[in-house]
Amino acid sequence: LTLSLSDYNHCGKLSFAPVDLNNVLETLINNYLPLAQSQKKSLTLDIPQPLPIITCDEIKIRQALINLIKNAFEATSEKDSVEVTAHFNEKRVIIAIKDTGKGISEDKRSKIFQPFVTEKESGTGLGLAITQKIAEAHKGSIRVYSKEFIGTKFIISLPIFQK
């Protein structure tokens, strides 16, 4: 909990550098493939066109993406899938993490980005709050779409160029 609180308090402090999100996403997916296989889940990455280099804090963006992928794995069962997709337009890179897990009820969705809100027995309730703070510190955003018993999709939008 102390480490999570420290992460929460410091997630707005960024160290910007040019980052290749293609490599970041490919590495994360490759790191999670053994877990997906052991849990009999499908894990895919779809980047139709190579993403542009963006200026961001790679460690913080990686932390945000790990939080979302980890949550997707925790919300899914055997034979479910986790899909990571990424594309871009002139101004933004959009990364979506979608799962076919248990979904989030409407009343819980409105609170999931608040600190210390969790449904997990061993959770701190800081993962999504940290992820949101990281996205916003990059002048980006995070949205959630979910239907109970169907699945959840988180979308992170990040600017290609920081002003």
Q: Dihedral sign, CA of 8, 39, 156, 154?
A: negative
Higher-confidence residue of 77 and 6: namely: 77
Query: Cβ distance 160 to 54 under 8 Å?
Result: yes
Query: Cβ distance 85 to 98 under 8 Å?
Result: yes
Please write the tens of the pLDDT for every residue from 56-73.
999 999 999 999 999 999
**Can you give the pLDDT at residue 117?**
66
Helix or strand or coil: residue 29?
helix
**Can you give the pLDDT at residue 1?**
44
Helix or strand or coil: residue 158?
strand
pTM surpassing 0.85? yes
**Can you give the pLDDT at residue 47?**
97
Burial of 137-148, coded b for 16+ CB within 10 Å and e otherwise, reads: bbebebebebee
Instruction: Specify which residues 142 forms β-bridges with.
Output: 156
Q: Is the pLDDT of residue 79 over 90?
A: yes
How far is 153 from 99, CA to CA, in rounded Å?
6
Q: Is 30 exposed, middle or buried (0-12, 13-18, 19+ CB in 10 A)?
A: exposed
**Can you give the pLDDT at residue 124?**
66
Please write the tens of the pLDDT for every residue from 36-58.
999 999 999 999 999 999 999 99
**Can you give the pLDDT at residue 14?**
86
**Can you give the pLDDT at residue 125?**
72
**Can you give the pLDDT at residue 114?**
84
Span 7-36, mean pLDDT? Answer: 87
**Can you give the pLDDT at residue 17?**
93
Please write the tens of the pLDDT for every residue from 83-139.
999 999 999 999 999 999 999 988 888 888 887 766 666 666 788 999 999 999 999
Tokens found for residue 2: 């102390």
